Amino acid sequence: MATRTRPRARGGLDSARAEEYRGWLQQMLLIRRFEEKAGEAYSLGKIGGFCHLYIGQEAVAVGSLSALGPDDYITCSYREHGHALARGISARAVMAELFGRAAGCSGGKGGSMHLFDASIGFLGGHAIVGGHIPLATGMAFAAKYRETDQVAVCYFGEAAVNNGAFHEALNMAALWKLPAIYICENNRYGMGTALERASAIYDISERACSYDMANEVVDGQDVLVMHAAMERAVQRARGEKLPTLLEVRTYRFMGHSMSDPIHGHYRTREEVEDQRKRDPIAVWSQRLIAEGLMDDASVKTMDKRMVEEVEDAYQFAEQAPDPEEEALFADVYADS
Amino acid sequence: MPTLTYRDALNQALREEMQRDTNVFLMGEEVGVYQGAYKVSRGLLEEFGPMRVVDTPITELGFAGVGVGAAMVGLRPVVEFMTWNFALLAIDQLVNSAAKMRYMSGGQVGVPAVFRGPGGSALQLGAQHSQAFESWYAHIPGLKVVMPATPADAKGLLKSAIRDDNPVIFIEGEMLYNVKGEVPEGEHVVPLGRADLKRSGGDVTIICHSKTVAVALKAAEQLAAEGVEADVLDLRTIRPLDTEAVLASVSRTHRCVVAEEGWSFAGIGAQVVDIIQREAFDELDAPILRVTAADVPMPYNKQLEKAAKVDPAKVIAAVNSVLYRSGE
């Protein structure tokens, strides 16, 4: 059944959806400003551990999560600040988690790589590459088991597809016809290893053919294209109870983590500069302006509001208390 | 009271729990059509259908993760590993996903799943099929580790494990599946974390679990013929460990031998000895001795295999040593 669709040619934007379109820009700006502030806070030593920024990939989370319903399940890798914000965890709760505060979305015990909000189906950032892909298959299994119309979505990087967990999880999802959507955010590099130095094939979407699974290659720098591809996948999952692999071509504008310089030894400054020409926020804001749905001034005002929201989150996180000492031993077990 | 095999006692527990709670389902290799590699799931596919008795591909990492994911959203999976040797492929899911989910989500997301199957060695299965891994799992905060030795405990502990809201590592024994014993009908639930005094005697404590319980009981019987009475304490749950029962027995006997099927280095016995020396140092009249597998991969040859395993003679020798007596 291996269907294969390419991004559709652009038509005009539907002015009836203007609010929704502007909302996507706002979310992307929120993520961008949030990540810039997180990077700054990390440099000041206010955020510890590892910190993986999502700058450059904002359209993927925003375009795809906006196609989901409130009861759907989401799992992510460790580069998940953007997904958490796009799903609706507040900037305050995410920033507080990065600061390790009790008011953080995981009580300050998860950190940057383990953001959770079970009340909205946001079931974690997970930090073993590929290890969370079977979890999403299990959530899709649960939806089928209970005969609900929920969909389980899993985000991971392109480096995860060389991992056994990926293949095992996709095989079972296809074998059992589960409502799962696997979103491979192909940002070209697994840490410092380029895709073509790690994968025997270039088109990751083709991996789905091994499981007779529907797949698409999606332009991840265009939020509208991302959203449309996700709508097709959601329809396939909810309606036909079939899984999809989306290979989303995107690019990470920053280093792998805060300790990695922007281009490092594995890519050139020119390459990064070239990719930045397709900044998803610029692509989308220019489109909205060209279509007359926004103007320069309203984009600037929106951006300013997002800067303020992030500043508020930062202040909140700075002043929020650390977890109480008793939190150390809480929640190891259900009864602890 | 009906007499059942350990295998059928497990089967009864699974059946009763699946009847009680529709969120409980069984998955693993050959659990359905084949009726279970060791027939623990016999008849369950026919009674509950393929959505609740799920045959998986040979993909331990994958289906363990599916179990964890399903548990994260409220199902109560029982994931069968054909043996715990194969579960090494799945250990990332058990350690990094199941054990930590509740903690790293700040208490939001639990994993009420049971991972079960036979552990330890059987007969001449060679190095890759003859390993006791309980100390690996018992090391991990967030996991419970349960190891029944008798049919009654197998039923009662499996029912408790399925009802527990934590991930439970439930290690059975291939050599135990045919063991028969009386098993209470219906609601027989043995709480996790409680050891059981399988034999009472005042001279020495033999601490054991799983397959070494029968070994210890046999040793105790022979010792009794020589006038030495042993407490045989079956831990039943490795984590949480019943410290109170261990200390109570040792405080009575003042001498202790710890027997286990696994290797010595960083084994379960090492933990038990640590607890005793910290909490009951003044009660001891002799150093505690441990009886474990030989510190080698399991050999295939029958005689070498026998030499590698714990047996009653080795337990008796250790008991004699802690009693400072020469064996008769």
Contacts of A175 in chain B (CB under 8 A): 57
Percent of chain B scoring above 70 in pLDDT: 99
> Which residues of B are known catalytic residues?
60, 129
β-bridge partners, B55: B28
Question: Which residue in A97, A141, A167 has the most chain B C-beta atoms within 10 A of its own C-beta, making it the best mutation to test that interface?
Answer: A141
Contacts with B25 from chain A: Cβ below 8 Å: 145
How many contacts does A have with B, using Cβ atoms within 8 A?
A: 143
- pLDDT exceeds 50 at position A298: yes
| Amino acid present at A322 | D
Residue A332 lies in a domain: no
Q: Is B64's Cβ below 8 Å from some Cβ in A?
A: yes
CB contact under 8 A, A168 and B165: no
Residue A28 corresponds to which tokens in the numbers above?
Answer: 């992307």
Confidence of residue A254 (pLDDT cuts 50, 70, 90): very high
Q: Give how far B260 is from chain A: nearest CA, Å.
A: 26
Mean pLDDT, chain B, as a whole number? 97
Q: Do B69 and A116 touch (CB under 8 A)?
A: no
Give the mutation candidate from A167, A333, A335, A336 for the B interface (greatest B CB count, under 10 A).
A333
B16: closest CA of chain A, how far (Å): 19
Write out pLDDT tens, residues B73-110: 999 999 999 999 999 999 999 999 999 999 999 999 99
Widest Cα–Cα separation across chain B: 60
Report residue B14's pLDDT band, with 50, 70 and 90 as the boundaries.
Answer: very high
* CATH class of the domain comprising B196-322: alpha beta
Q: Nearest 5°: phi and psi at B248? A: -60, -45
DSSP characters over A111-167: -TT---BGGGTEEEE--STTTTHHHHHHHHHHHHHHT----EEEEEEGGGGGSHHHH
Please report residues of A whose CB lies closer than 8 A to that of B74.
142
DSSP single-letter state for residue A206: G
By C-alpha distance, the chain A residue nearest B107 is: A331
A331 and B101 in contact by Cβ < 8 A?
no
Cβ-defined contact of A331 to B25 (cutoff 8 Å): no
Same fold, B3-182 and B196-322: yes
- Spatial distance between the Cα atoms of A291 and B228, rounded to a whole number of angstroms: 94
Q: For residue range A193-251, what is the model confidence (pLDDT) as tens digits?
A: 999 999 999 999 999 999 999 999 999 999 999 999 999 999 999 999 999 999 999 99
Query: How would you classify the pairing of strands B237-239 and B144-146?
Result: antiparallel
Of B74, B97, B103, the CB nearest to A332: B103
* Domain count across chain A: 1
Chain B residue whose CA is closest to A153 = B69
In chain A, what residues touch B112 (CB-CB under 8 Å)? Answer: 334
Q: Is the link from the previous residue into B240 a cis peptide, with omega within 30 of 0?
A: yes
**Residues of A47-77 as b/e, b for ≥16 C-beta within 10 angstroms?**
beebbbbbbbbbbbbbbbbbbbeeebbbbbb
Residue A335 pLDDT level (bands cut at 50, 70, 90):
confident
Nearest to B105 among A118, A133, A334 (CB): A118
Is the confidence at residue A8, as pLDDT, over 80?
no
Confidence at residue A1, expressed as pLDDT on a 0 to 100 scale: 43
CA distance B45 to B26: 9
| DSSP SS3 for B310 | coil
Among A7-16, A94-103, A285-294, the least confident range: A7-16
- What's the average model confidence in pLDDT over B47-63? 98
Is B195 at the interface with chain A, CB within 8 A? no
Q: What is the pLDDT of residue A222?
A: 98
Chain B interface, best mutation among A73, A181, A324, A331, by max B CB count within 10 A = A331
Q: What is the pLDDT of residue A2?
A: 46
Q: How far is A165 from chain B (nearest CA, A)?
A: 6
Q: Is the pLDDT of residue B288 over 50?
A: yes
- What stretch of H or E contains A87? helix A81-87
pLDDT, tens digit, 9 for 90 and up, residues A154-206: 999 999 999 999 999 999 999 999 999 999 999 999 999 999 999 999 999 99
Residues whose CB is less than 8 angstroms from the CB of residue A197 and which lie 6 or more positions away in sequence, other chains included: none
The whole-number pLDDT of residue B327 equals 65
In a domain, A327, yes or no: no
What's phi and psi for B17, nearest 5 deg?
Answer: -70, -35
Q: Does B165 touch chain A (CB under 8 A)?
A: yes
Could you tell me which residue, A335 or A247, shows the higher pLDDT? A247
Joined together, the tokens standing for residue A315 give 């202040």
Give the domain range for residue A114. Answer: 17-319
**What's the CATH number where A130 sits?**
3.40.50.970
Is A330 inside any structural domain?
no
What number is the average pLDDT over the span A59-74? 98
Strands (E), chain A: 4-5, 73-76, 122-125, 152-157, 180-186, 189-190, 193-194, 214-219, 244-249
Of B69, B102, B103, the CB nearest to A138: B69
Task: Residue B68: list chain A partners with CB under 8 A.
Answer: 134-135, 138
Q: Domain B3-182, what architecture?
A: 3-Layer(aba) Sandwich (3.40)
Residues A217 and A223: beta-carbon distance below 8 Å: no
Q: What percent of chain A has pLDDT over 70?
A: 96
Residue A324 lies in a domain: no
Task: Please state the domain extents for chain B.
Answer: 3-182, 196-322
Work out the minimum CA distance from A11 to partner chain B, whole angstroms: 39
Q: Does B68 touch chain A if contact means CB atoms closer than 8 Å?
A: yes
Pair B322, B288: CB distance under 8 Å = yes
d(CA B128, CA A112): 39
Instruction: Report CB contact under 8 Å: A131, B96.
Output: yes
CA distance B219 to chain A (A): 37
pLDDT at B179: 98
Is the CB of residue B144 less than 8 Å away from at least one CB of chain A?
yes
Confidence of residue A263 (pLDDT cuts 50, 70, 90): confident
B101 contacts chain A (CB < 8 A): yes
Q: Are strands A4-5 and A214-219 parallel, antiparallel or unpaired?
A: parallel
Number of H helices, E strands in chain A: 11, 9
Q: How far is B109 from chain A (nearest CA, A)?
A: 7
- Structure ipTM: 0.96
User: Taking CB atoms and an 8 Å limit, are A110 and B68 in contact across chains?
Assistant: no
CB contact under 8 A, A145 and B70: yes
Q: Is A235 exposed, middle or buried (0-12, 13-18, 19+ CB in 10 A)?
A: middle
Touching B: A residues 68-87, CB under 8 Å: 73, 75
Q: Among residues B54, B62, B65, which one has the least CA distance to residue B31?
A: B54
CB A223 within 8 A of CB A67: no
- pLDDT > 90 fraction of chain A, expressed in percent and rounded: 92
> What average pLDDT is seen over chain A?
95
In Å, how far are A61, A317, B118 from B191, measured between CA atoms? 45, 43, 21
Closest approach of B13 to chain A, Cα-based (Å): 22
What distance in Å separates the CA atoms of residue B159 and residue B189, rounded to the nearest whole number? 6
The predicted model gives B218-227 an average pLDDT of 98
Q: Kindly indicate the confidence band of residue A6, based on its pLDDT and cuts at 50, 70 and 90.
A: very low
Q: What is the mean pLDDT of residues B305-326?
A: 97
- Which residues have CB under 8 Å from B254's CB, separation 6+? B283, B284, B285, B286
- Owner of token pair 């001498």: B255
pLDDT tier for residue B67 given thresholds of 50, 70 and 90 = very high
Distance of alpha carbon B13 from alpha carbon B6, whole angstroms: 11
